[in-house]
Structures are given as structure tokens and as C-alpha cells.
Structure 1
């Protein structure tokens, strides 16, 4: 996760390490429990078909998007699992057991309809000593990944680090880190860490000499002496990553590996000292060469068909200043994805104003624009806001506004007029989903006198949108209307525009103000009457050149039931959804309670522009056939005016 203070070739072979490195389970001193067998789900019927592999493709050479094996434009929405990977109580994995992973995956699918996760792993977990790759650790990770892929959820694997390593910090430190193993830090011989006057943990990246020197050494591949001989630090990282990716590829069944969308090589890279260079020069000189080496490692390990989700310098796109952004990288192409985080650094620190309609449009459009310039797809792998403490009263609408801006870069008040300017729907994973939120028992920096139990149990953070009750059942801590959203999960063609009105309240637990942000113009009185005080979404898309091999799909929030969902458009216009036909409702893969809408245009010519209005009419007056007909006519006229041809 990004600190609140921020704006915040071939693989080299090191002979001494190559001779010493063995690909075997850790020594018998490892007391972590083995993983149980992964759960499976039926994958034979159309309603439970397994996802196909994703590729990054150009969309009329104007932007780049994810597409599945049927050629559909895919939007990924989900969560990071999880900050618990930073904790030793969890053995540096998101979950303590495969059963916990399965319970979490099921709740995520049922409560939010999420179709993607960012799955955190740790260098320290993979390589506990310079000559050992811990296959037992990787096997547990594989089984936890399968708990999600078996429920139709795609996985981005993330090599996570914050402040380089927990081993840089002493037992009485105010802060901690995660990432590099103890033997790497010991070989670096770094000074005793001190952040100085630091109010936020991210300031360590700028003022803590131990943290900065360690990062400096990594990017410059400093050679250090270990019990396995002399090694380059970055060389060691790449060798263990190659071994880890190879093992994961071999252990995941083909169907599950198809659901792995790629890998994030390095979470939130920071410089460790620019050496007189700008952030852009640092990215060009150090960061991009590392990503190219990691890309080669992916190819060696059997991941050639999957992109590397590469992040810019951490000090980018959070409200204070612009530094980095990979603008000197040239065209990345489809073997990479531009992978940005977004946190509102101003509202985390000095800005006391609330978020509202359109607050984050500019920030998300900057991500869209940067990806377009890099000739690849964008992805927002972290965003969110704290769930407790000072300023958390603004969190519900801050997160709502972030989702709104990822749906469309146009504010709701202007959307019906400027929908075509909204840009592509951004795929994303929110920070974060912690099964153990508020129930941890972590010894901070291995100090038994500093046991952390509250929140995320890491540097006083509390970001998890879920928590378990005494019985172990998971419930959302944030208004479910914000998290369980209508979104176009797979569109047979090109998405031209999308927006969703979630009517989420500004407070917690059903409290706070409710206000619509997606305002229907007075020129569409029947549409306005139909959606008044109701949740609704609008999708506009263009029929592809070749006949689609699968229908368009939208995830339906829980309140959009078969009997109360209204569909208006050229594909179908009706109140209530059947189980088959042009507009039908089916269950989400891996869930018996979450649902999706299937849209099948019949005989539409290539290039046909479709528009559909989807309304959750679980409240308000009964919808009449005359009202539907009038609303359909208004929507068609609006589509023809705003999206001609």
C-alpha cells in the first residue's frame, strides 16, 4: 500500500549462487502447517464456465484493453489479498490455511461479485536463505490461489514490499517493513534505522538512511557476501523469482493458470536516492532495466503469454506532485500493463474536504492517458482509504468517488452529455480484503512486548473493507452499495461508455446522506422517472466485426434480483429477468447467490451500437409497459445522437 505522505535482456547468472541454490523445501525447522487440498467447483455448465486466458489488445489503436478467449472486452474488479502477507503470524501468506482462503474467496464472490484479486507473496517467504527456495511456501500459495480460481476469480500475483524489509527495523522501532529476507539485509550491513520526526510510515522512504541505502543497493545490484558466496542483490531477487514462477506454473493446473493474469514484479518502487537525477531519469536508468530483466525471467519460467504489471515510481499521481510515470519508457506494448496505485494523499493528510461527484476524474484520467501513451492497458492495483481514525468519516464517499472515476472519467452531472469522453472502464483491485481484520496477533518487529491486534496489525493501518464476526462469518465494513457494483465484466465488442449510480450513503451502517450523482437530463423525462431513487447503470458498446462467441455480461448487485431488475434497450426491454433469452439472469461462477446479466443481441450487424439501461427496481412504484416503451425510445434517441454510426 502506498504511504500517505507520497504523491506519492537476459537474466544474469551468478556462478557462486547458481552452485549453491537448491530448489527444495525449507529446512525441517519450518513449523508452518501444510496446506489442505484446494476446493473445487463445477465448471461444466455455461453459468459456471471457467475463465479463459486474458490478452492485452489494441482497441481501434486508440487505447488498449483486456480481452478474453471469446474476444470480449473484460473489466476486472476485486481486492488485494492481503496485507496479512506482511505478517509473520500468517507465515508471510494472505491466509493461514487453504480453508481460510476458500472461506474468504466464497464471501468475496457472494458479497461483491469480484472477479479478480491481487495475491501478495513475499521474497522472504520464497527464499528464506540464499541457497534455498521454499517450495512448501509456494505450494501453500498455489493452494490458496486455487481457492479463488476455482470460483471464477482471476489472479494477479504480486511480489510485495514496503520499506524494503522488516529486518531493517529494530525491536523498538515505531515502524516496520516487509519484503527482502533477513540474510539480504544482514549482508548489506546497514546502519541502525531512524526515521527522524515522521508522522507517517511512508516518510521512511525519504528520511530513513537504512531504508534508502537498501533500496539504493537493490536498484544498483550491489554485490554482497553471503554464506552462499558473493551475489548481486538484484540478481538474487530475479533468480528466486524465476524459480518461484516456474514452480507456480508447474503446480497450477492449466485451467487455473489460465486464470492468472500476470505478475506485479515490485510493489511501489522507490528510488533510495536519485543521485542528482529526476524521477523520470531514475525510471529510465534503473527501473525499466529491472522490469526488462523481470520480463525475461517470466519468459524463462513459462509465463511468456502473460504481461508484467509494472508500476511507476511511487511518487506519482497522489495529489502533491508529479514525479515519474514511466514517461521516458517509450511504448511498453502488450507484454506489459501500466499498473498504477491511487491514494488521495491530500485527504489522507491536510485536506479536510469531503469527496463528491467527479472528485477523482482527473486522477483516473491521468492513469488512462499514461497507459494510452505507453501503448498498453491500464490497471489500478491499489486504491482506497482508511476505515478508522481521523478522517475515516469521509471514506464511504471517497471510495465511491474513486469507483465512479474508474467507471467513467466524466462526472455524473455531465455524463449524459459527454459520455463518449469518459474513456475506458478501468480494471482495479481495492486495498484490501483481510479475513483477520481486527483479530490479529502480530509481534511487531518480532518483539513480544509489542503485540498488534487491531486493524491490519501493520504500521497502525486499517484498510480492510471486511471483517469476521465471532462465528467467522465475513461482513462488509463499508456500505455494500459501494463494493457490490454493477459493472461490465465481459463485453462482446468495444465498450464506448459506462456509468453506474450506486446511491451509496455517506456514512457507515446505513447512516449518512444519500444523493444521486448520475443526473438524468430533463430531455429524458421517462428515463428520469424510471431511475428516480433507484440504482441503475448504462452501458454503450459497439458490435464486433466477427460474430461474438459469448454474450455480453454485467455483474448484478445483490439488490438487482430476477423479479425486480429492469432492462431497457435495443437488445431487450422488459421488467423482470428470465433464465434465458436476449436478456437473462444467471448465477456468477462459484456462487449460488451472486448473479450476472447476459445480453445477446440477435442478428446485429458488425458496428452496430447498442445501449442498455439496467435498473434495480426493488423499490418505488411498479414499472408499467408504457413507461418501458417510452424510456426505450428516449434511450435510443440519446444513443443515436451521442454515438452516431
Structure 2
């Protein structure tokens, strides 16, 4: 639930009262569980998104971009030169690229291939720089007819109920017209009408059909921050939401059997650390004899043909209510983070899915903001989770300001990390105080290529010294060090050259 300008007044009005009640319960209930937990052996029962060489990917990047939500053509603000700069300055390998249903299907059953070609052009910009692109079917407040973005006007049924602008914007989810639009979409109110979910699934299938053979695309995020309208909690997640996801998975697999399918829980609650009722979903790929578990030259070698990833968002409630990472709020945020991690890992085990933090972020001017961003990155490392920071739009939440000058966030995100691990990762960690990056993994049969780590110039101006491993190559332009791999356990420590 992101909005750089409006978080500070979330708790206003009827919905705000509910949020405050939930907040109080959460801050009391989450308690100190998980405190002091050591980094887990992520290779034990953990799944990884893999590349065509079978290497485990550590996905780190930004969402691109909020500017696409209201743009008439649905395109983000970026030009190709901005992708070049992003790769050079941050060394990221992942982007969550926003799509709009209103652009994919501007009229019922008609798909706009000009729009998809424009998306494909930007995907190519990223692919030529080594990125993996997640195509995210994005919505906030359902669609523009009720003041949001995402759904086309023709797919918005309000039954004449109004949706007035709200401050903050999140309160718009409680506007009568917005609630009714969601209820009409989910089919949870009486009355006939167009099969909106069927159209939405058809639009997802068309996107998958278009990008099925594009190796830069790593997968599809089936819906951004789902909202149940008048049906909430487990009843929504285990009911209408799970049915939509299963229908979408089944439909996409008729045209694309290889890309990953990313699912999100309902944002309210799970963003803060509450449990989710999202059930395990079936991937028809798992029953396809062509989808052999060892990869066989396909995109994955994960031992399980199903390719469903879990992509929850992370916005701790104390900060969602306007606080920074300081004082008494800091302890509350830490409790929320522990609860979020516990519930996320529990859900990922139930789904049998790897984890990518689909969004996290905050105004970089808030007290303690940089400490918080670094803490989330360390947590992601310990979990073996990828992330997409919100977002690359120039401004107060971004690594660059309106004039594209670096903000103080940029050096915090520009940190040493593995990008691809030639086997099953055990653990990896950047120790800023000792200026040491440690990476350990178990070699895996059939994996090709070496382990790639990025060593930013701000920390490794003269490259890295390798202890405990074999240095294969070093590219000072991309700042990528490649390490040799093979059978057995590897444990490597990389420190700056003197």
C-alpha cells in the first residue's frame, strides 16, 4: 500500500478506525517472536527461481514504475538511457514492470498488440543489460472510473454508486462505488452481468502468449495488492482470490509452460505481518511430462516442475501510519518485521514457493529510513528472498531525485551481493563493517556456469580478493566477479583488494 505523499494520514475516517484497531492488535500480538534468530540454512527445503543454466537467482531491483498507472499510453517514464544508468549505478538484475489491464484489453475481447509491442521494446532494453523482468498486472483502487488504475472502464460495475476522491488515497478502497466494482469483479454480489474474471484471465493469457518465448521475462505477477471489496480475510483469499489465481494459472499454462507465476496475498494485513489464507495452488506444468525436474535445457532445474512464486509486499504498519524508523516506532517496526517474516516463510512452505518481496519502500527523508532499508535487505538475504524496491520513479522514495541526481538511498541499495549461484545457496551476507561478502553454496549436478557476484566500486574500487574459492573472471565494467563451482560445498569470502 504505497504512496509517497499520503501515508501520514492513513488512519482517518471509518476505514482508518478499523486500521487503527487492527494496528493495535498487531502491535500487541506479534510480540518478540523471531528475535535474535540466526540466518537460516536456505538450502534446506528452500526453492529458488533459476536461470536457463540452472543457477539460483538472487533477484534485486526496482519497480518500474508508478508513472505508468496514469499515462495515456500505459508506459513508464523511462527511456533506454535510464535503464543503462540504473544498471550502471545500482547493478540490479531485476525489474518489476507494471502493466495495465485497461491497456491490454481496451474493449471486451480485443487485445492491444501495439501496447504489448511497446512493453516488449522496454523489456528488450532491460534484457540487453542482463535484467530479469517480472510483468506485473497492476491495480490500485480497481480502475480509473472509480479513481484508481488498472481495470478498463467497461469492466467497472458500480451500480450507480459513487466514489469520491479521498485523502489519503487508500481510503478510496472504502468508497461505495469502489467496493461495488470489486464485488462485481469477484462475483460476490447478486445479479448477472459480464464475466469480468473471465476477461481478466483472458488478458493475462494474452500477455503470456505474447511473451512466452521471451527469455528476459521471468514471469507474471497475477494481480497487484488484491482487494476483496466487501469480502475480506481468509474468506476472500481462500475463496474468490484463490479461484481467480487457479483459473489464471490454468489459462496461462495453455500458452506458456515455462515462465514463473507470481501470486500475492491480500495487501491489508499481510503487508504488516498477519497470516494469509492463501491456499496451495496447482501448476499444470507439474503434470506435464515435458517439464522434467532436472531442467533438461529448460529454464529451471529446481527438482519440482511447478513454477509458482510467492510475492508478498512489506509495509510495516507503524510506518504505514506515518512513522519513521526511530524511537518507540523502531521497536514496533522490528516486531512487525519479525511477524512478517514468520508468516511469509510459513505461507511459502505451504505454497511450495520461493519468495520475492514484490514491494517495499518508504520516503527516504523519514528518520531512520536508511537503517530500515538496510535491515530489510539483510532480512531478505537471510530468507533467500529477492525484492523489488518501490520504485524507480524520481522523487522522495527513489534512488534519484527529480533531476536524476542520486539520493542517499542509492548507496544503500548499491551493495555487494551474489546475482546467480551455481548450485543450492546455503547463505550469503554482506558485512559492511568488515567489508566482506561471504557466499556459500552446494554444487548441483547439471548446473552450468559459475557463481556471479557484483562488487560495487564504492566498496571494491580495485576489485575483490577471493578466499576459499576459485576466481574465474572479473569484469571491471559490470563489476561482476565470477567464481568457479562444481560438486561439494563451497564457502567463499571476498574482501577489497588493497
TM over 0.5: yes
Aligned-partner Cα distance in 1 for 2:322–2:462: 47
Instruction: Identify the residue that residue 304 of structure 1 maps to in structure 2.
Output: 257
1:555 to 436, 448, 454: 454
Residues 184 and 497 of structure 1: is their aligned pair in 2 closer, same or farther, counting only changes over 3 Å? same
Alignment partner of 1:210 is 2:177:
yes
Aligned-partner Cα distance in 1 for 2:108–2:121: 25
Instruction: Identify the residue that residue 276 of structure 2 maps to in structure 1.
Output: 324
Which structure 2 residues correspond to residues 429-468 of structure 1 after superposition, within 5 A?
429-434=388-393, 437=394, 455=395, 462-467=396-401
Alignment partner of 1:536 is 2:436:
yes
* Contact 1:223/1:233, CA 8 A, preserved across alignment: no
Instruction: Identify the residue that residue 184 of structure 1 maps to in structure 2.
Output: 155
Structure 1 stretch displaced more, 144-153 or 127-136:
127-136
Q: CA deviation at 1:111?
A: 0.7
Per-residue deviation, residues 132-171 of structure 1 (Å, max 9, x unmatched): 32221121111111111111101100110000012113xx
Which structure 2 residues correspond to residues 176-575 of structure 1 after superposition, within 5 A?
177-185=148-156, 187-194=157-164, 199-205=167-173, 207-220=174-187, 231-249=194-212, 254=213, 257-274=214-231, 279-300=233-254, 302-319=255-272, 322=274, 324-326=276-278, 328-329=279-280, 334-349=306-321, 351-354=323-326, 360=337, 362-388=339-365, 392-408=366-382, 423=383, 425-434=384-393, 437=394, 455=395, 462-467=396-401, 469=403, 474-502=404-432, 516=433, 531=434, 535-544=435-444, 546=445, 548-561=447-460, 563-568=462-467, 570-572=468-470
Residues 204 and 430 of structure 1: is their aligned pair in 2 closer, same or farther, counting only changes over 3 Å? same
Residues 259 and 352 of structure 1: is their aligned pair in 2 closer, same or farther, counting only changes over 3 Å? closer
Aligned-partner Cα distance in 1 for 2:68–2:196: 22
Aligned-partner Cα distance in 1 for 2:350–2:437: 29
Q: Which runs of 5+ in 2 are unaligned?
A: 11-18, 24-41, 284-303
Aligned-partner Cα distance in 2 for 1:612–1:378: 24
Q: CA deviation at 1:317?
A: 3.3
Residues 325 and 79 of structure 1: is their aligned pair in 2 closer, same or farther, counting only changes over 3 Å? farther
Alignment partner of 1:612 is 2:492:
yes
1:594 to 473, 478, 490: 478
* Contact 2:423/2:443, CA 8 A, preserved across alignment: yes
Residues 377 and 314 of structure 1: is their aligned pair in 2 closer, same or farther, counting only changes over 3 Å? same
RMSD: 2.9
SS of 1:212's equivalent in the other structure is helix
Instruction: Identify the residue that residue 51 of structure 1 maps to in structure 2.
Output: none
Aligned-partner Cα distance in 1 for 2:226–2:205: 19
Detail structure 1 runs of 4+ shifted over 4 Å in the superposition: 1-8, 221-225, 330-333, 350-353, 355-359
Instruction: Identify the residue that residue 445 of structure 1 maps to in structure 2.
Output: none
Aligned-partner Cα distance in 1 for 2:456–2:343: 28
Which structure 2 residues correspond to residues 20-35 of structure 1 after superposition, within 5 A?
none
Aligned-partner Cα distance in 2 for 1:273–1:102: 42
SS of 2:401's equivalent in the other structure is strand
Residues 596 and 358 of structure 1: is their aligned pair in 2 closer, same or farther, counting only changes over 3 Å? farther
SS of 1:193's equivalent in the other structure is coil
Which structure 2 residues correspond to residues 46-195 of structure 1 after superposition, within 5 A?
62-88=45-71, 91-95=73-77, 100-130=78-108, 132-169=110-147, 177-185=148-156, 187-194=157-164
Residues 543 and 243 of structure 1: is their aligned pair in 2 closer, same or farther, counting only changes over 3 Å? closer
Name the structure, 1 or 2, with higher relative contact order (CA <8 Å, separation 6+). Answer: 2
Q: CA deviation at 1:342?
A: 0.5
* Contact 1:265/1:309, CA 8 A, preserved across alignment: yes
Q: Which runs of 5+ in 1 are unaligned?
A: 9-58, 170-176, 409-422, 438-454, 456-461, 503-515, 517-530, 573-581, 588-592, 623-645
Instruction: Identify the residue that residue 458 of structure 1 maps to in structure 2.
Output: none
Aligned-partner Cα distance in 2 for 1:261–1:299: 14
Residues 549 and 127 of structure 1: is their aligned pair in 2 closer, same or farther, counting only changes over 3 Å? closer
Aligned-partner Cα distance in 2 for 1:105–1:130: 34
* Length, aligned pairs only: 439
SS of 1:316's equivalent in the other structure is helix
Aligned-partner Cα distance in 1 for 2:281–2:110: 37
Instruction: Identify the residue that residue 286 of structure 2 maps to in structure 1.
Output: none
Q: CA deviation at 1:600?
A: 1.1
Q: CA deviation at 1:431?
A: 0.7
SS of 2:197's equivalent in the other structure is helix
Aligned-partner Cα distance in 1 for 2:413–2:438: 18
* Contact 2:361/2:389, CA 8 A, preserved across alignment: yes
TM-score (norm 1): 0.63
Structure whose CA Rg is larger = 1
Aligned-partner Cα distance in 2 for 1:318–1:245: 27
SS of 2:79's equivalent in the other structure is helix
* Contact 2:43/2:426, CA 8 A, preserved across alignment: no
Q: CA deviation at 1:69?
A: 2.4
